[in-house]
Structure 1
Amino acid sequence: MDKNIPLSSPLKRIKILDSLRGFALLGVILMHMIQHFGIRSLPSEIEFLSFPVLDEAVQWIGNNIIMGRFINIFAFLFGLSFFIQMDRATKKGVDFRLRFVWRMILLLVMGLLAHSFFNLEIISLYAFFGLLMLPLYRVKNWLLLSIVAFLLLGGPRTIQAINHNSELGTEQVDAVEPMNNGQAPRDLAEHFANPSFLNSLKHNYKERLPGKINYQFGYFGRGYVTFALFIIGLIVGRIRFFERLDEWRKRSFYLFIGFVSATLLVIWVQTMLPPPDFSILFRPNGQYMASSLLAVMTLQDLELVLFSGALALGFTLLYQNMKFGKYLEVLSPYGRTALTNYIMQGVIGALLFAPWALGSTFSNWGVTSLFLLGIVIYVVQIVCSKYWLKHFLYGPLEWLWRSGTYLELQPFRKK
């Protein structure tokens, strides 16, 4: 590497990573459309563009093929990008740590601003985990793998459950009363009674942000899986997997078969266990945290990660194939402008589903219609990304983030 090139100069990109990132964001927008971007709407008896049989099939695809799997790939790629940035700085003899901390602070700000529109955003969480990655950069792989195993096997959840159960002692646990049992219904929330962006913003921070934190770091423990994927990305970066794809092609195929087989095995084991009551994870309310519930949650986490690995490896093998690779390369511009596209997904989602915008219309659409609309939005973003990168070096938010990182305006237009 030429040491005369400043650190802020554009990175030589590994193209498959851009395409894989674009692929991951396809699953993200499709699932978020089905979930109405986490924006709650008033229930309505009127459904529009609803196709019951298709809706059920698409919902199954969302729950069993997309949800949690594609966003895992996105998290893995964040950890890999962390390694690439730090590795490049190390080769230049530059200590990038303080600048990386500042970079994560800027990302945290962007994430919290995005939370104003939709509470499912994960950028702010990525910024927090990015900071935790710094002390792990030089840690040995065997120790990193031990941390990954602890996180994916439900270590944090088990510790919380043991502490919770010990506090309960041997006292008789009362049944949890159903909500509004014989009580008058609660008053209509302010963001529904008086729809406005400001009221939705207040609701997102006051009500939904604590719920998000509980989902990530409570008994459900989604955040621990995400952090494990960050670390896996760091390890994969160290072995130069994507820089040596041709050397790894045969092993990649065997890895793909292994991930698929392991995924099917975990799914089969899950079918042998009784379906758990996941609501306990969010509101224990003095209830005993059964070991069977913890086991099912651990199996579910493993299945999601293994499924994501199979998807990523399958995509990689297809990308290396001459017949399919040229089509998957179409996703590259989307991945190069991933931050802009991801946040724009959320802004569009807020406009579609928020009570203060078009929520009264699109919240009544059937699952299939929303799924197809998500594909349309994604395709439009691909076209816009491709056109944008013909004239500019970075996406708008990527350029803003980069300029903020180095505290000076970076080159923007292509010469």
Structure 2
Amino acid sequence: MRENTIALPPSQRITVIDALRGFALLGVILMHMLDHFGYTSVSGVTFPTKWDGIIQWFTNTMIRGKFISIFSFLFGLSFFIQMDRASKKGFDFRGRFLWRMLLLFVIGLIGLSFTYVDILTIYAVFGVVLVFLFPLKNWVLMLLVCLLLIGVPNWFIIGFDNIRFDNVINEQTIVTVLPDITEQPIENSTPERMTFLQSAKENLTVKTLDKLKFQFIYSSTGYLILALFIMGFIVGRLRFFEQVHIRKKRNIVLFLLFLVSTFILLMVIKLVPKVPVNLLTTGTEVPFIALVISALNSLSTITLSATLAMGFISLYQVAGIRRYLNLLTPYGRMGLTNYEMQNVMGAILFSAWGFGPIFGSMGAALLFVSGLIIYSLQVVVSEHWMKHFLYGPLEWLWRSGTYLKWQPFTRRQKSQKAEVISQQRSI
């Protein structure tokens, strides 16, 4: 029988998902490094070089918002996989998943104490939303996705009476073209000397509140994350990844389709008349064209994210390339641990209580290279860790907390447990 002629059984781990998650976290750390993980520079002056400009253009075009989109999509996909595998074993996982999201929220709060750009608390809340959306048909979920992508929630925030279809606004009113999904830092006035506890308090209160306002009032970022969660769930229902290794032509066609769609959307955005930009507030008059541009930006972010994901998936199906991309598989399996370690290291590098005076004054090129170095070290550590352990540290704690029982941690423990079960069955 020819290799790769049948779909993977649902119970078998799909390694391309882990590798793709590891790939997504590469973009996350690079973007966060350039954004100083949300910390303002505490001292020093940066003199941009030619390379800094090139790196800034590249990251804003190809990385900002795209890799966190892939990461968010994979969360929705993981939700489906957990639900599906539980149902095949004969029990409803929804109650357990709600408890799991509460634990994730707690982990996210700890992450927020290091840097407010940590997104796990929002993931936990949207995970709860997915549980209630679980019974809905795919067409209903797709309709909801479309409404989120075109920015319908923002229409209600603005108020329909304030949407100007004639595109004529009061001269004293400045509106915004709502940005797409980004990791854009929020300006703050952090004092030059601040302890960790003072910084944690500010991150958990003032900065988090500002972040939520930006994501759900001043932009459509938060709603796009929810849309990506739902899309991941739908793709899981369609069994896309269970057949991804045998549908190579489909993968390439989808890559080209998303690539062309991105190009068309970007061209349309360039042709649409521009409007003045600033922060959006409730009660502000907004020309309809601004909302159109916002929706187009959101769609282009989604299609470019899909292009990157499908490009990675297509390359993963090439045996000679897969052996190298599989280096990211252990990293992706430890995605939660590695994501939080990125945030902890970012806080140490850029905070006032850490090395902010040094790294806060670095240019984009140096920060980009520093991000690559940190990521590479994490890849090496993850590979060695997964040779001896079944899960990353946070993954193991999360799993143990989910089932309220300590789970096997080392591969030796799993082997011993399997041996005991085998002996019991033979008696």
Instruction: Report the TM-score, using the length of structure 1 for normalisation.
Output: 0.89
Q: Which residue of 1 aligns with 2:196?
A: 197
**1-structure distance, mates of 2:32, 2:65:** 11
Tell me the matched-pair count: 386
Q: Deviations over 1:190-237 (max 9, x none)?
A: x51541111111211232111111122114020111111111111111
Indicate the SS of the match to 1:245.
coil
**For residues 94-173 of structure 1, what are the structure 2 equivalents within 5 Å?**
94-163=91-160, 165=162
Q: In structure 2, the residue corresponding to 1:287 is in which secondary structure?
A: coil
Shift of 1:171: 11
Gap runs ≥5 in structure 2: 1-10, 175-187, 413-427
CA contact (8 A) 2:258 2:307 kept: yes
Residue 275 of structure 2 is aligned to residue 279 of structure 1: no
Contact preservation (8 Å) 2:159, 2:282: no
- Could you tell me which residue of structure 1 aligns to residue 209 of structure 2? 210
Contact 1:174 1:286 in 2 (8 A): no
* Contact 1:79/1:233, CA 8 A, preserved across alignment: yes
Residues 84-103 of structure 1: pairs in structure 2 closer than 5 A:
84-103=81-100
Q: Specify the alignment match of 1:40 in structure 2.
A: 40
Name the counterpart of 2:18.
18
| Residues 11-410 of structure 1: pairs in structure 2 closer than 5 A | 12-42=12-42, 44-45=44-45, 47=46, 52-163=49-160, 165=162, 174=172, 191-281=190-280, 284=281, 287-410=284-407
Q: Percent identity?
A: 46
Deviation at 1:294, TM superposition (A): 1.2
Q: Contact conserved, 2:76 with 2:229, CA < 8 A, in 1?
A: yes
Partner Cα distance (1:131, 1:37) in 2: 27
Are the aligned partners of 2:158 and 2:284 in contact in 1 as well (CA < 8 Å)?
Answer: no
Cα deviation digits, residues 328-376 of structure 1 (max 9, x gap): 1110010000000000000000000001110011000010000000000
The amino acid across from 2:26 in the alignment is L
C-alpha distance after superposition, 1:269-319 (max 9, x if no partner): 1111344444323xx375322212211111111010000111111100000
TM-superposed CA distance for 1:247, in Å, is 3.6
228 and 285 in structure 1: CA distance in 2 versus 1, 3 angstrom threshold: closer
Q: Aligned to 2:111, what secondary structure does the other structure show?
A: helix
Over the aligned positions, Cα root-mean-square deviation in angstroms equals: 2.0
Alpha carbons 1:36, 1:363 under 8 Å: kept:
yes
SS at 1:297's partner residue?
A: helix
User: Displacement, 1:75?
Assistant: 0.5
Give how far 1:118 is off: 0.7
Structure 2 CA distance, aligned partners of 1:93 and 1:214? 42
| CA–CA distance in structure 2, aligned partners of residues 285 and 161 of structure 1 | 5
Structure 1 range deviating more: 120-129 or 50-59:
50-59
**C-alpha contact 2:21 2:332 (8 A) present in aligned 1:** yes
Query: Amino acid of the residue matched to residue 259 of structure 1?
Result: F
2: distance between equivalents of 1:126 and 1:78? 8
The TM-score with structure 2 as length reference comes to 0.86
Amino acid paired to 2:202: H
The 1:201/1:243 distance shift into structure 2, 3 A limit, reads same
- Alpha-carbon separation, structure 1, partners of 2:153 and 2:256: 30
Which residue does the alignment assign to 2:178?
A: none
Equivalents in 1 of 2:214, 2:170: separation in Å? 27
> Does the CA contact (< 8 Å) of 1:164 and 1:289 recur in 2?
no
